[in-house]
Amino acid sequence: MKTTNGGTNWNNDLPNLIPYSDSYNCLHSVFFSDQNTGWVVGSYAAIFSITNGGSTLINQISTETPAGYSLCQNFPNPFNPSTKISFQLPVVSSSSLKIFDITGKEVATLVNERLNAGTYTVDWNASEFPSGVYFYRLTAEGYGETRKMMLIR
């Protein structure tokens, strides 16, 4: 499978080896060899290719309705070069998860969409960013929380 538009559309480059169906949508891990090329591995040995460097995977890890909004500490922290950020939404929410540098400048948007209630995890690959302190902020339907993380090379 291949995408050249950040995962909006997927093309089956190997139709005889990996027949695509919606039942194959469980993605397990992401690897970026540089800022423009990456691979996602999914169920049934499907391999998805990202060639524009602009895709972020949001994995819903639970559909149970949490008691409230929550933004967890990233793990690992400190990290090099990637980390996982988890959060919970108790209701369907227009959600945003953004990364800021120490000066407050927005450097990445990981989530910017309407999400169902549940628990989510997002991977951030910071291989193109310098070492330092970064902040990540979750905003959703009147909720906002910011946490600190450290990238060490």
Per residue in 39-63, pLDDT tens?
555 544 444 444 444 445 577 777 7
| Rounded average pLDDT over 112-116 | 93
Residue 31: pLDDT band with limits 50, 70, 90: low
Residue 75's pLDDT is 93
CATH number at 59-151: 2.60.40.2550
Query: Whole-prediction pTM value?
Result: 0.63
**Distance separating alpha carbons of residues 31 and 39, to the nearest angstrom:** 5
Residue 57's pLDDT is 59
Q: Which of 135, 132, 136 is nearest to 153 (CA)?
A: 132
Buried/exposed 34-52: b ≥16 CB within 10 Å, e otherwise: eeeebebebeeebebebee
| Rounded average pLDDT over 109-136 | 94
**Distance separating alpha carbons of residues 153 and 39, to the nearest angstrom:** 23
The answer to whether residue 7 scores a pLDDT higher than 90 is: no
- Regarding beta strands 2-3 and 47-50, do their DSSP bridges make them parallel or antiparallel, or are they unpaired? parallel
Residue 109's pLDDT is 95
What percentage of the chain reaches a pLDDT higher than 90? 54
DSSP 65-125: --SS-EEPPPBSSSBSSEEEEEEEESS-EEEEEEEEETTS-EEEEEEEEEE-SEEEEEEEE
Domain boundaries, the chain: 2-53, 59-151
Joined tokens for residue 112: 């910017």
